[in-house]
Amino acid sequence: MMTVPENRDSKDTYVIAFVDFVPNHIKMGLTTAEDSLKLSFDRNLTGRVFRWGQLPSESIRIRKFEPLFRQARHLYIDGYYEAAVALCGMTVEALCISIAEDRVTDEALKGKLIDPSNTDIRGKINDLKNYFKVIKSASLLHQVLDIRKDYLHFHKTEVIPENVLECINKVHLIVLAEYGLVPDKGKFHFSTKEDVEERAKKMGIKL
């Protein structure tokens, strides 16, 4: 770590700079990075296991939103809360695009909803209100965006892990509602409003 003047005309203002030597160590064939990662992993293992145990078990491995949501879960497990919330926000957009591609038959509306230049995600949610399988999905999508707005626009300066878990759980409920399968007497059925309400109750989330 070192401090340098912010500009040559000021002797009173300094910027703290950090130098990461590990990339050079890796290029040199040293084991510094591997040893450091092992120590870090062991030091934070208990917390990682605890956070993993808080997450829902099921995930849906389909469509373009799934990798984003899976990565958000891993970021939460590793304690990268702001990044987890950011990816939950991206998952919301990807979910809207997937639902539009799968269910909207009006080509003009579909084009508007999947247009990458259309950044009005809340508008997309409202346009999709008649295409959700479970009506509560729209409200949950907005709630995820509310949490994202709080942290990514610095309305809240301190990240509360419980809020991040709530964000992930709400995305899980949306995925369950719109694409989920639920065990049913040795078989599976597509999730219903009642399935989502039951899971939300177990999570302590009011719909």
Is 86 domain-assigned? yes
**127 in any annotated domain:** yes
Could you give phi then psi for residue 147, rounded to 5 degrees? Answer: -65, -40
Instruction: Assess whether pLDDT exceeds 90 at residue 44.
Output: yes
Residues 9 and 92 in one domain: no
Q: What is the pLDDT of residues 79-109, one digit of tens each?
A: 999 999 999 999 999 999 999 999 999 999 9
Higher-pLDDT residue of 38, 124: 124
Shared domain for 140 and 187, answered yes or no, is: yes
Alpha carbons within 13 angstroms on the beta-carbon side of residue 31 total 3
Render pLDDT for 126-149 as a digit per residue (tens, 0 to 9): 999 999 999 999 999 999 999 999
DSSP letter assigned to residue 128: T
> Is 9 part of a structural domain of the chain?
yes
Tell me, yes or no, whether 55 lies in a domain.
no
- pLDDT category of residue 12 using cuts at 50, 70 and 90: low
CATH number of domain containing 95: 1.20.120
| Residues whose CB is less than 8 angstroms from the CB of residue 176 and which lie 6 or more positions away in sequence, other chains included | 58, 60, 182, 191, 195, 196, 199
Q: What is the domain count for the chain?
A: 2
Judge if 147 and 176 occupy the same domain. Answer: yes
* Contact (CB, 8 A) for 148 and 86: yes
Give domain status of residue 48, yes or no.
Answer: no
Highest mean pLDDT among 12-16, 67-71, 178-182: 67-71
The residue that leads in pLDDT, 207 or 120, is: 120
Full residue range of the structural domain in which residue 22 is found: 1-43
pLDDT for 8: 58
Same domain, 152 and 196: yes
Q: What pLDDT sits at residue 17?
A: 74
Predicted pLDDT at 68 = 92
Closest CA to 88 of 176, 203, 170, 191: 170
The DSSP secondary-structure symbol of 162 reads H
What percentage of residues in the chain have a pLDDT greater than 90?
Answer: 61
Instruction: Check whether 57 has a pLDDT greater than 90.
Output: no
Give yes or no for residue 152 having a pLDDT over 90: no
Residue 62: what pLDDT? 67
Say whether both 137 and 73 belong to one domain: yes
Task: Tell me the average pLDDT across 164-183.
Answer: 92
Q: Give the type of residue at 68.
A: L
